[in-house]
Amino acid sequence: MSASGTAAAGQVEHMLRQVTPGRYDAYEALLTALADPAGGKVWMLLWHGSPGSADAQYGNMEIDGVGYAPCVTSARELAVSGWSRAHEVVTGPDIARTLFPERWGIWLNPHAPGGGVGIPWPDLRRIATGLDRMPAGPLRLSEPAIEIPHFYALLSQNAHRTLAIRSLRRAWVQPALGAPYLAIGLDLYDTSRPSVDAVRAMMQQSIAAVPDGLPVSTVAMSDEYDPVAMWLRANARPFYDRDAHGAPEQAGGYGYPAAPTR
């Protein structure tokens, strides 16, 4: 490992020591260190097989119903852990891309005093796709309390003229770090380039009705890994529903099928 890689690996361990309950800023700094493709490495513990072999299998552990693959943060920690089976050294982004689609997280240094720190799969997804592209968790989600009927009315009118849109939902999102914002869930019939462009134009036309200072974001309802979309599917009724307006069903079938709406 190069000197810069060693320094980055040391940064992972340094930030890990800063993480304590409620210190979301320190946890976010740990994710940033892990996301460094040059040096954010972890030593994944193999329960079966050897690195690169067809039968290689990571270890697994379950905490509060969530699955994690245990790992350590350096060769020194590997020696301290007493692990006697094989291991595999991978970058944070690589292991994130491997594990999050299966809804597995990683658990750093489970042998350490206090039990180490777990990185659940939604945060691995953030590492894999870009930490700045999604809000920092854990998220607090609820129905929006702010009254902006003109915006919702205009958005519904514009959505009705945008044939790619099946329905719209809404949520108030409070990230662990950063300002809260209004999320609009977009359920689309298809994601062809013309449809995406039309939906983007629809949002740009509607956003003028949003009060100054109110952040608004959108989320694809078809995204099975997005925590906001997951919450919307489970908890929010559409405030605009094309099928409920008696419009003819569109061809295609992107995302979730046109089933009876919640």
**Average pLDDT score over residue span 133-150:** 94
Which band of pLDDT confidence, cut at 50, 70 and 90, is reported for residue 33? very high
Alpha helices in 42-84 (DSSP H): 75-81
Checking if the pLDDT of 251 tops 60, the result is no
Domain ranges of the chain: 3-133, 140-245
Checking if the pLDDT of 189 tops 50, the result is yes
Q: What pLDDT, on the 0 to 100 scale, is given for residue 37?
A: 87
Q: What pLDDT, on the 0 to 100 scale, is given for residue 9?
A: 53
State pTM to two decimals.
0.83
Tell me the CATH class for 140-245: alpha beta
Query: What distances in angstroms separate CA 259 from CA 118, 169, 243, 244, 249, one per listed residue?
Result: 37, 16, 10, 12, 11
Amino acid code (one letter) for 103: R
Q: Which of 17-31, 54-68, 198-212, 244-258 has the lowest mean pLDDT?
A: 244-258
* SS3 (DSSP) at 216: strand
DSSP 127: H
Q: How far is CA 138 from the centre of its chain?
A: 10
Q: What pLDDT, on the 0 to 100 scale, is given for residue 245?
A: 66
Q: Determine what percent of the chain is predicted with pLDDT higher than 90.
A: 82
**Average pLDDT score over residue span 129-136:** 92
Query: What distances in angstroms separate CA 1 from CA 9, 10, 15, 254, one per listed residue?
Result: 10, 12, 20, 45
Angle at 251 between CA 248 and CA 228, to 5 degrees: 90
Q: What pLDDT, on the 0 to 100 scale, is given for residue 125?
A: 96
Checking if the pLDDT of 3 tops 90, the result is no
Q: What pLDDT, on the 0 to 100 scale, is given for residue 246?
A: 53
